[in-house]
Amino acid sequence: MILHICHTKTLSVLVVMLLGMVYCPSNILAQSIEKNTWHDFDYIKASNAWLTSDNVAGLQALPVANVSDAQLYFNKNNGKFVDYYQSGNSRTLGTNIESYYRLDSMIVFYGKVEYFNFEGKIMTGSAFIDPRNEPINIVETSDDVEGKKEQDFYHITGAVSARLLPQLSLGGKLDYKAADYTKHRDLRHTNKLLDMTVTAGGVYILNKYLTIGANYRYDRRVEGLEFATYGTTDRQYETLIDYGSFFGEKEVF
């Protein structure tokens, strides 16, 4: 049995940022940051709201020439205080690289590459990678089918901002996520996820206290599930088609 859940939404967002009470001239901030040879990535990223906005035309607010952050991490989780779609015995190994780079006075780039591998034991619950992002849910209703689940997750982001005029900047961003998710015990399922966001926008500086921006955002999320059993068996497997708050109907595979 194969199921595809697809979300597509398109919207236009108008953003107005009034910075009067928290205004800090960019040249003063840049001078204070440049005093340190080693930059704090999180501090710089949080130094201006435009650096984390969906409207990447605001990347012109970058106060340094370039800054990068690279991480390699390992998490081990044990305990029974978990949600129904989580594991009480899991581990995650991953890496994350993120960077801001100013090519010249007119062009700024942003990039991110992330990968992690997740393995969780004694798992049932939802058949989706993240049921919080889906309009319905498919939940295993028996505890004696607990098994190991594995996930490989990939995330790539690229963005660029170009200053066309002293007051006007334009920018665009592509954010792409993909994942594989597998359960290794009947009732088995294999998931394929594609989650893509494209944004394009502009920023106009009215004065030193007021900057306005508008951006267009397009989202598309598709997750496919394929259910199967290994070999032959007389057992019937049931799942709950959950329409919300575990209210729905049972289906036999």
- pTM for the whole thing? 0.83
pLDDT at position 27: 47
Residue 22, pLDDT above cutoff 60: no
pLDDT at position 41: 93
Summarised one tens digit per residue, pLDDT across range 138-167 is 998 787 899 999 999 999 999 999 999 999
Residue 215, pLDDT above cutoff 80: yes
The two tokens of residue 122 are 């004694």
pLDDT at position 3: 65
Q: Pick from 37, 112, 105, 34: which is nearest to 47 by CA?
A: 34
Residue 222, pLDDT above cutoff 80: yes
pLDDT at position 6: 63
Residue 246, pLDDT above cutoff 50: yes
At residue 54, φ and ψ (nearest 5 deg) are -65, -25
- CA-CA distance, 50 to 57, in Å (whole number)? 8
Residue 23, pLDDT above cutoff 70: no
Cβ burial, residue 235 (10 Å; 0-12/13-18/19+): exposed
Q: What mean pLDDT, rounded, does the chain reach?
A: 87
Tell me the average pLDDT across 37-44: 81
pLDDT at position 26: 45
Contacts of 176 (CB under 8 A, 6+ apart): 155, 156, 157, 195, 196
pLDDT bucket at 7, cuts 50 / 70 / 90: low
**Residue indicated by tokens 């200053």:** 163
pLDDT bucket at 34, cuts 50 / 70 / 90: low
- CA-CA distance, 48 to 251, in Å (whole number)? 51
pLDDT at position 10: 43
Nearest 10 degrees: Cα torsion 197, 201, 206, 210? -10
pLDDT at position 79: 93
Residue 18, pLDDT above cutoff 90: no
Tell me the average pLDDT across 93-99: 98
- CA-CA distance, 211 to 48, in Å (whole number)? 12
Residue 195, pLDDT above cutoff 70: yes
